[in-house]
Amino acid sequence: MKELEYYLQQRKKILAFNYINFLTEWDAQTDAAGGSVAADSEYVATLAEMQYRLATEPEFERCVEQLYLKREELDDVQRHEIEVTYRSVSETKRIPVEEYVAYNQLTAEAYPVYVRAKQTGDFQLFRPYLERIVEYCRKQTVWLATDSLKGYDVLLDKYEPHFTQAKYDTFFRVLRDKLVPFVKRKVSTDPAPDWTKQVFDKAKQKEFCEYIRDVMCFDKNFGIMKESEHPFTSGIGTDDVRITNHYYENDLTSAIFSAIHETGHATYERQVDPALNGTLCGGGASLGLHESQSRFYENMIGRSHAFWAVHYPKLQSVFAPQLDGVSTEEFVRYVNRVQVGFVRTEADELTYPLHIMLRYEIERELISGRLQVKDLPAFWNRKFTEYFGVTPPSDTLGVLQDVHWAYGNFGYFPTYALGSAIAAQLYHAMSKDFDIEASLADGTTARINVWLKDHVHKYGASKYPDEILRIATGEDFEPNYYVDYLISKYSA
């Protein structure tokens, strides 16, 4: 097919731009100084325009359309890619180019302003940026509306294909009915144990986090671990997968669980079938599925007694003599305690989904236009008080705590809760094949990695996430595994 040849030529350019997007974001969040990000935002805008033009070139569009019509002649991966590309080209076209470019420049500029606003707790500083961002996202729901997707659903579908408001509502209703009353009973107000109130050397934390990457069998020749304000994972293809971390000397475990979490994401990217490199089907299938991997490693593995039975002696030796009097049991109890806190990223496994429900409900109101940005801090605080019984003392600990909205990522948060639930469903399926906890005794997560590779990772984005979940577990998404897992774990 001559269309295919032309398509593959153009795809190389699209991939090169994906690489550029990866690098510019990685740079903005790690190396670029505050004043530099703004200076670079014009280049970002020009690159966005070039990407827009590339994706909507009439010849490319015709070619994708032709391939779409002949898609039954393609192999499975190509067919999936063409379906996704066909849709994305037709969507991009519906966004006015000036708006697209201006929005890309806006979010590049918004990031350093958001950082300053968060540092100073000054929502008003960030407000004009957020207003323009929300305005654009609302317009997106109009430009990209289809017969089956409207309003907030348009945004939700970008991050988790086929998962609509109706489905999230059902999911969150299950959590609200079964989990909220349980959480309330489990919340502890005990002060943190004394041994946690020490200074834990940053270099030692780093050393242990590098050890964690070894435990998780991550090949360091294909990605570094660096520092940034918020830990994240970023990669391009299977051979360049990087994570960041943040070390707090007054907190022993924050960086450790971030390392496990981000290496979970990184393992997913690394274990995609390398044959998908150079296609548009590389990387994770959706944000929910991605988060299911990081949460799987962080919570189900990383907070288990079986894990620390093997690795706690190493932790003790790195920090010797600071943990000398602390038993494995005490440590595991500490990393699983349930507490009310203001900050999502510091939340325990049990209260975490409540933080997400809060954001989901706020986004729904904002995108529908029923809530305005100017009223956001007050709305946040009221809702938070309703859910948690306490009121954030500042916007830094409230509405400004997450960076996502500064990037315009509305519709992203709900995938975090979804990820935890998918992780529980996968754990249930994996348990049928082997004894997960026993497999940790050999000192690595090797056996778990292989199972996840064969059942989830290898497919990359060559199938939709709900399809992959069905292949991996034999079932559609089922939130009760998650509820059961949490109730059983925290009843123990």
The reply on whether position 97 binds a copy of itself by CB under 8 A is no
The reply on whether position 226 binds a copy of itself by CB under 8 A is yes
Considering the complex, what minimum distance in angstroms separates the CB of residue 230 from a copy of itself?
17
Q: Which is nearer to a copy of itself, 178 or 246 (CB)?
A: 246
Q: Which parts of 147-186 interact with a copy of itself (CB under 8 A)?
A: none
Q: Which stretch binds a copy of itself (CB under 8 A): 132-140, 164-172, 239-247, 457-465?
A: 239-247
Q: Which stretch binds a copy of itself (CB under 8 A): 85-93, 209-217, 237-245, 440-448?
A: 237-245
Q: Which parts of 274-313 interact with a copy of itself (CB under 8 A)?
A: 277-278
Considering the complex, what minimum distance in angstroms separates the CB of residue 14 from a copy of itself?
10
How many amino acids of this chain bind a copy of itself (CB under 8 A)? 40
Active-site residue 262, yes or no?
yes
Cross-strand pairs, 72: none
Q: Which is nearer to a copy of itself, 17 or 195 (CB)?
A: 17
Considering the complex, what minimum distance in angstroms separates the CB of residue 402 from a copy of itself?
24
- Draw the binding track, 9-48, toward a copy of itself (x: CB under 8 A; -: no contact): ---xx-xx--xx--xx-xx--xxxxxxx-xxx-xx--xx-
Considering the complex, what minimum distance in angstroms separates the CB of residue 457 from a copy of itself?
17
The reply on whether position 242 binds a copy of itself by CB under 8 A is yes
Cross-strand pairs, 226: 244
Q: Which parts of 49-68 interact with a copy of itself (CB under 8 A)?
A: 50
The reply on whether position 420 binds a copy of itself by CB under 8 A is no
Considering the complex, what minimum distance in angstroms separates the CB of residue 448 from a copy of itself?
23
Active-site option among 262, 269, 291, 363: 262
- From the list 73, 177, 214, 219, which residue makes contact with a copy of itself (rule: CB under 8 A)? 219
Q: List contacts with a copy of itself (CB under 8 A).
A: 12-13, 15-16, 19-20, 23-24, 26-27, 30-36, 38-40, 42-43, 46-47, 50, 219-224, 226, 236-240, 242, 277-278
Task: List active site positions.
Answer: 262
